[in-house]
Chain A
Amino acid sequence: MSPSRRGEPRDPHDDGRPRMRAVVGSNRIEEDIFGRVFDGKVVSRIWKFVEPYRRRVWIAVAAVLVFTLSQLTIPLLIRYAIDHGMAPGAPGGLLAGIVALFGVAIAINYAASLVQERVTGQMAENVLFDIRRKMFGHLQHVSLSFMDKTEVGRLMSRLQGDVNSMQEFLETSVQSVGDIALLVGIVGVMLWLDWQLAGLVLMVLPVLFGVRVLWLAKARAAFMAAHEANSVTNNALAEAIHGVRAVQAMNRARLNAELYGELANRTYQAQLRASRLAQIMIPIVDSLTGIAMAVVVVAGGMMVASGRIEVGVMVAFLFYVQRFFDPIRSLTMQYSVMQRAMASGHRLTEVLDVEVDVTDAPDAVPLGPVDDGSVEFRNVTFGYDPAIPVLKDVSFAVASGERVALVGPTGSGKSSSISLIHRFYDVQEGAVLVGGRDVRGVTQESLGRHIAMVLQEPYLFTGTVMENIRYSSYWASDEDVIAAARAVGAHDFIAAMPGAYDAMLDERGSNLSLGQRQLLSFARALAADAKILVLDEATANIDSYTEMQIQRALQRLLEGRTGLVIAHRLATIRNADRIVVLQQGVKIEEGTHDALMAQRGLYSKLYDLNYASFDDIPDELTDADRATAT
């Protein structure tokens, strides 16, 4: 099992670089887990979430102060009991009286801790859920270009890990108000009891603080390394789980296990180091406690002997000495909790601040049933990276009720065009109009209702077939859903599944064939009952016969609706009214099938290719067309 005994992955090319490609997990750089101790901006952002619970915060702080006060009183009462209650000539009831007071103190202590912990805990939990909700809600609106660049796992760790460390911080920060009060209280009481003895004992305090500050710097680096190693390793595990089918298909299991072994070992080393550093503090604190107690014993003992103080004071001191290391310990701990929370808070606000560059204009109007289903591209230029345009000065129009096909080689910008209709992204130049209005001038919600889409990549949710087809179209009745499924020819296989429409789909619909998933996502678009239907390769994984049946059914369903169809199998688009041909982001041809065939341009070439066999293609044609595929 020990990876050290396992050989390094064999590397036949010893030129130092090839190892680069043998990696597991994405080698993303973990951000700092510790931030500055105090970041005013972050705090004020987080405070906004706490503000609604202001009253509870004050209650909790009040409770924690009461709690601390009662904590402080207890050793004092013991002192009085010893020095006065038990003194040889003490009145009989005095001891009982002091013990009764003691009883009152502990009752208050009980009540205060009950209130404080419950209020703090629930408040922190509420804030946590509020922050998460806000972030999740925000992610529903941030631009897709951000989502494209960001791994889901990374966002999930924001929504969970970072939110949790904020919660930890909120819970402990009320506690630390108590700790500070306790520390001040103990020091105060000790000084009040006997300032000279207190002064002696308190000399260990600066030493302790100094040691901890030095230690913290080192320990933090070690903790960070352990955390990072751990998350890199976990990330590699997640990748193996998600990509297991590719790993097995490409026979990488053995090599991956070796690579992962190295990561696991690195984590092991880092965690050992972190634990070493964490534990090293124990003997130090214990020694300092020992010194403080020794001081009390010698100095206090002398004082008692010389009659300067009573023995009860010495006992109280011994109690306080053992107590005051606790708040110091938790305060320094709080220091790193706070740093961690600041870093997390920073990342949370980062998510909350991700620009929503696609927003409803202030004067946006909703598209309603009265608006028609026309679509128009007016000199549209667009690029995911503005420096590299994917669509260049594209113009075409689709009248309401018309059926238009978008055709072009792979990567020519077809899917990108339809993303623009839905305003997934904003154009850099020109305008996209839907229902005669610029998409930037209508509300996104109504735009979504106006257009139904079948995306190139069918994505299904874990849930029943019924839930998946209906999705957000709450207005669709069960009958509507079944009608949609029938229209795309999915009804038969759904009916054959155990549970039929109540059959559960696994993650991403993996218990269906890809064509079946595509049919469901097609049915989902139909169930939405929108004016404009956009089909991006909706039948690419479906045989022509099934496709023909769908088209037949659609003829009725699409009466009066606008259709925008993308397909590589040109038979799919045979009954389109018009065809727009894109090549490398430029519209190069437009017209009916016959007109385009007569033109003998790219479309006619693609069309011929569709029906010829590939082996018949003359080589010069292939070379001439080489540049068309990007």
Chain B
Amino acid sequence: MTPPNQAAATPDRVFRRTASIDPQKGVGAVARITAMCFRYPWRAGLAFAATVPAVLMQLAIPFILGRAIDQTLAADRDNPDVRALVLIALTLLAVSVLRGLFTLVQNYSAESVGHALAQDLRNAIYDKVQRLPFSFHDRTHSGDLITVGMLDLEGVRMYFSTALVRTLLLTLLIGIGAWLLLSTDVVMGLLALSFVPFAAWRSTVMRLTLRRTWLILQEKLGVLSQVMEENLAGIRVVRAFAAQDHEMAKFDASSKDALDYSHQRIDVRVRNTSAMTLAFFAAMGLVLLYGGRQVAAGEITVGTLATFLTFMTILQMPVRQLGLMVNAYARASTCGTRLFQLLDMPVEIDDAPDAKNLEVTEGTLRLENVGFGYQGASGQRAVSGISFEAKRGETIGILGAPGAGKTTLMHLIPRFYDPTEGAITIDGQDLRNVTLGSVREAVAIVQQDSFLFTTTIENNIAYAAPFTEERRIRGVADSAQLHDYVLGLPQQYGTVVGERGVSLSGGQRQRLSIARTLMTEPAVLIFDDSTAAIDAGTESRIRTALRGYATDRVTVIVAHRLASLKHADRILFMEDGQIVERGTHEELLALGGRYKALHDLQMHPEADVLEKEAPQ
């Protein structure tokens, strides 16, 4: 195993909005999204196919109008040719209807490609997020991941309709339109098109500027929302310190920053769009002046002039949309890069290629010289040189100061992290060589900092086995000493526990997370400091209820209260990531080391212990 990778300098900023994006990668991302769109060849093909007639119909309209005007002017005053007019009108109507229908087909197929793509990506993102190991989630802010799953997904979804299809649409529209105008009258055509380069350029530059500023604004707003979110999540701390003013100041600072920036953005946008409209009208004025002279001179007809003017109106939209199109590409490239970065993130903890399921026979857990260091902890080991063995029915007790590495060690057993040194085996099978699912089935843990879901007590308990019978839920709740409490609630097992369990007391939260772990039938059961908020009486009842349960498996208990550990078959005392003392309660007392000191401290709580040891 290679030591943890320290190369990724600031891994936690990978998903930040303004993370410098490698342009090469951006191209790659766009190519990849394009390829993904063609997973739906029929719909994509239809979208392109419908674009061509839609454009042709749209371009036909000015010509028909021009013909109509000329026809009218040419008409005989006393005996107007009504049939010819009606014919033109009907053509106009038919062309309009067809244009609408083709546009409908084009838009709908294009959007459906986007939605289908979004569905695939959503599933892929969800799956990835769930499978990425703890180490990834440790260094990634949840808000950033949520943005990838929502905003970046949108950016990629819109790509097909706003970038790809629009490219074809605009190329055809502007290309054919320009060609038609120029072939009708070169000078007037040039005049009419004179606004195009300016508008195209402005619009592109503006969109790209806006895109960049949008990313910066996003980041600023991200900071603001982090401030708000953490404030709301930690509202009790805020209240406890009467820190409202402090929090408002934090809010104002990031809010003002975002507001100022957003004003600048509006400025950029407004100046550019207005300038483009001005250019368009200016070109129209030129056409009017020049064309008017031509008409007066009898060189061209009024109908031709009207065709030109209508054309310009029709061209105005697509030329402005060039910017949108460029923007859609830019957006897809930044969003796509981030999204694929997530999707391509290697799942460091995953099934080995030919992994089989873990087969539990004896049920023996063994740790051999296990060591582990967190990424970014500059090579420091959180635990090292840990070896111990536990057979079915045995209980291992672990204790140590905060930061001694107990939780870290416990997290290695269900493979939340892989040890960087040594190996962990169950019945001789290295956990890294068997399927992850079977390891998680064989090892259950009550986490120290457990997360309760915002749902009912029942759903929380049955989280690991949602299809279980009602009876079992009650059974485990009873073992965890929760049943009586639940029965006292108005909605009993249907009571919603509030976000992360806020409406429960500390001990109730812990008992709920014990109960939900008891739903499983693991070979190794870990309690990571999971009775700290439970009084000794309740804890002892939990232990009594679990007596039978514990004979079938290895139990590992991390605790600070010695009573919780006293009867363990082996007690391990951890310090700075290493086991410094081990043995049974009696052996450790006889040893007269740290354990003994701790024991004396807890068992003889007379005030004089303090007095004696207090340095003066």
* Minimum distance in angstroms from B600 CB to a CB of chain A: 10
Which A585-615 residues have C-beta < 8 A from chain B?
605-606, 609-615
CA distance A252 to B126 in the complex (A): 13
B172 contacts partner chain A, Cβ-Cβ < 8 Å: no
**Contact flags (1/0) for B481-495 with A, using CB distance below 8 Å?**
100110010100000
The chain B residue with its CB closest to the CB of A87 is: B296
CA distance A616 to B97 in the complex (A): 89
Give chain B residues whose Cβ lies under 8 Å from the Cβ of A435: none
B606 contacts partner chain A, Cβ-Cβ < 8 Å: yes
User: A290-B92, A471-B241 are known contacts. Are A129 and B255 too (CB-CB below 8 A)?
Assistant: yes
User: A610-B561, A627-B484 are known contacts. Are A286 and B100 too (CB-CB below 8 A)?
Assistant: yes
Give chain A residues whose Cβ lies under 8 Å from the Cβ of B506: 410, 415, 456-457, 537, 540
CA distance A531 to B185 in the complex (A): 90
Complex interface: stretch among A195-203, A293-301, A336-344, A477-485: A293-301
CA distance A415 to B351 in the complex (A): 44
Majority secondary structure of chain B interface residues (helix, strand, loop or mixed): helix
A528 contacts partner chain B, Cβ-Cβ < 8 Å: yes
Give chain B residues whose Cβ lies under 8 Å from the Cβ of A149: 498, 503
Find out whether the CB atom of A264 lies under 8 angstroms from the CB atom of B226.
no
A239 contacts partner chain B, Cβ-Cβ < 8 Å: yes
**Contact flags (1/0) for A442-467 with B, using CB distance below 8 Å?**
00111111011101110101100000
User: A472-B245, A630-B488 are known contacts. Are A279 and B108 too (CB-CB below 8 A)?
Assistant: yes
B155 contacts partner chain A, Cβ-Cβ < 8 Å: no
Q: Which of A1, A409, A456 contacts B120 (CB 8 A)?
A: A1
Find out whether the CB atom of B69 lies under 8 angstroms from the CB atom of A315.
yes
B52 contacts partner chain A, Cβ-Cβ < 8 Å: no
Find out whether the CB atom of B108 lies under 8 angstroms from the CB atom of A516.
no
Find out whether the CB atom of B402 lies under 8 angstroms from the CB atom of A516.
yes
Give chain B residues whose Cβ lies under 8 Å from the Cβ of A384: 503
Complex interface: stretch among B19-27, B425-433, B530-538: B530-538
Q: Which of A446, A611, A617 contacts B603 (CB 8 A)?
A: A611
CA distance A227 to B603 in the complex (A): 61
* Minimum distance in angstroms from A463 CB to a CB of chain B: 9
Find out whether the CB atom of A275 lies under 8 angstroms from the CB atom of B112.
yes
Q: Which of B94, B275, B302, B498 contacts A86 (CB 8 A)?
A: B302
Number of chain A residues whose Cβ lies closer than 8 Å to a Cβ of chain B: 204
Please count the residue pairs between chain A and chain B whose beta carbons lie under 8 angstroms apart in the complex. 569
Give chain B residues whose Cβ lies under 8 Å from the Cβ of A302: 80, 82, 85
Which B207-264 residues have C-beta < 8 A from chain A?
225-226, 228-248, 251-252, 255, 258-259, 262-263
Find out whether the CB atom of A240 lies under 8 angstroms from the CB atom of B122.
no
A571 contacts partner chain B, Cβ-Cβ < 8 Å: yes
Find out whether the CB atom of A152 lies under 8 angstroms from the CB atom of B499.
yes
Find out whether the CB atom of B100 lies under 8 angstroms from the CB atom of A609.
no
Find out whether the CB atom of B146 lies under 8 angstroms from the CB atom of A237.
yes
Give chain B residues whose Cβ lies under 8 Å from the Cβ of A286: 96-97, 99-100, 103
Q: Which of A22, A113, A411, A575 contacts B610 (CB 8 A)?
A: A575
- The CB with the most chain A CB atoms within 10 A, among B71, B100, B455, B458, is that of B100
* Minimum distance in angstroms from A501 CB to a CB of chain B: 16
A381 contacts partner chain B, Cβ-Cβ < 8 Å: no
Find out whether the CB atom of A264 lies under 8 angstroms from the CB atom of B100.
no
Give chain B residues whose Cβ lies under 8 Å from the Cβ of A625: 537, 541
Find out whether the CB atom of B285 lies under 8 angstroms from the CB atom of A247.
no
The chain A residue with its CB closest to the CB of B125 is: A237
Q: Which of A318, A445, A546, A626 contacts B484 (CB 8 A)?
A: A626
Give chain B residues whose Cβ lies under 8 Å from the Cβ of A611: 563, 602-603
Find out whether the CB atom of A574 lies under 8 angstroms from the CB atom of B447.
no
Which B16-44 residues have C-beta < 8 A from chain A?
none
CA distance A568 to B521 in the complex (A): 30
Complex interface: stretch among B163-171, B329-337, B463-471: B463-471
The chain B residue with its CB closest to the CB of A584 is: B488
Q: Which of A102, A151, A244, A261 contacts B137 (CB 8 A)?
A: A244
Give chain A residues whose Cβ lies under 8 Å from the Cβ of B187: none
B134 contacts partner chain A, Cβ-Cβ < 8 Å: yes
**Contact flags (1/0) for B593-612 with A, using CB distance below 8 Å?**
01001100111011100100
Find out whether the CB atom of B251 lies under 8 angstroms from the CB atom of A133.
yes
Give chain A residues whose Cβ lies under 8 Å from the Cβ of B613: 548, 552
Q: Which of B231, B271, B466 contacts A114 (CB 8 A)?
A: B271
The chain A residue with its CB closest to the CB of B126 is: A260
Complex interface: stretch among A44-52, A210-218, A303-311: A303-311
B282 contacts partner chain A, Cβ-Cβ < 8 Å: yes
Find out whether the CB atom of A257 lies under 8 angstroms from the CB atom of B450.
no
Find out whether the CB atom of A305 lies under 8 angstroms from the CB atom of B252.
no
B313 contacts partner chain A, Cβ-Cβ < 8 Å: yes
Majority secondary structure of chain A interface residues (helix, strand, loop or mixed): helix
* Minimum distance in angstroms from A481 CB to a CB of chain B: 14
Find out whether the CB atom of A250 lies under 8 angstroms from the CB atom of B464.
yes
Complex interface: stretch among B304-312, B352-360, B364-372: B304-312
Find out whether the CB atom of A415 lies under 8 angstroms from the CB atom of B505.
yes
Find out whether the CB atom of A543 lies under 8 angstroms from the CB atom of B450.
no
Find out whether the CB atom of B244 lies under 8 angstroms from the CB atom of A541.
no
* Minimum distance in angstroms from B142 CB to a CB of chain A: 5
**Contact flags (1/0) for A139-174 with B, using CB distance below 8 Å?**
111001001110110011001100000000000000
Complex interface: stretch among A116-124, A178-186, A392-400, A426-434: A116-124
Which B266-286 residues have C-beta < 8 A from chain A?
266-267, 269-271, 273-275, 277-278, 281-282, 284-285
Find out whether the CB atom of A606 lies under 8 angstroms from the CB atom of B537.
yes
A563 contacts partner chain B, Cβ-Cβ < 8 Å: no
Give chain A residues whose Cβ lies under 8 Å from the Cβ of B97: 283, 286-287, 290
B145 contacts partner chain A, Cβ-Cβ < 8 Å: yes
A7 contacts partner chain B, Cβ-Cβ < 8 Å: no
Complex interface: stretch among B320-328, B385-393, B437-445: B437-445
Which A68-124 residues have C-beta < 8 A from chain B?
74, 78, 81-82, 85-88, 90, 95-96, 98-99, 102-103, 106-107, 109-110, 113-114, 117-118, 121-122
B582 contacts partner chain A, Cβ-Cβ < 8 Å: no
A13 contacts partner chain B, Cβ-Cβ < 8 Å: yes
User: A117-B274, A506-B139, A611-B563 are known contacts. Are A251 and B103 too (CB-CB below 8 A)?
Assistant: no
Give chain A residues whose Cβ lies under 8 Å from the Cβ of B536: 568, 570, 606, 609-610
Give chain B residues whose Cβ lies under 8 Å from the Cβ of A297: 65, 68, 85, 88-89, 92
CA distance A251 to B522 in the complex (A): 12
User: A315-B302, A514-B529 are known contacts. Are A118 and B77 too (CB-CB below 8 A)?
Assistant: no
* Minimum distance in angstroms from B147 CB to a CB of chain A: 11
Q: Which of B122, B469, B544 contacts A233 (CB 8 A)?
A: B122
Known: A245-B451, A507-B142. 12 other contacts (CB 8 A): A21-B458, A86-B295, A121-B269, A244-B137, A298-B82, A301-B85, A448-B240, A496-B380, A513-B408, A575-B610, A612-B563, A630-B484
Listed from nearest, the 9 A-B pairs whose CB atoms lie closest are A448-B242, A410-B507, A515-B402, A290-B96, A286-B100, A283-B100, A472-B243, A472-B246, A294-B89
Q: List 28 A-B contacts (CB under 8 A).
A: A21-B467, A86-B302, A87-B296, A121-B269, A129-B255, A133-B252, A133-B255, A147-B235, A152-B232, A159-B225, A239-B454, A251-B441, A252-B463, A280-B104, A290-B94, A294-B92, A298-B85, A311-B73, A408-B535, A410-B538, A444-B242, A455-B236, A540-B560, A569-B602, A605-B537, A610-B561, A619-B544, A628-B537
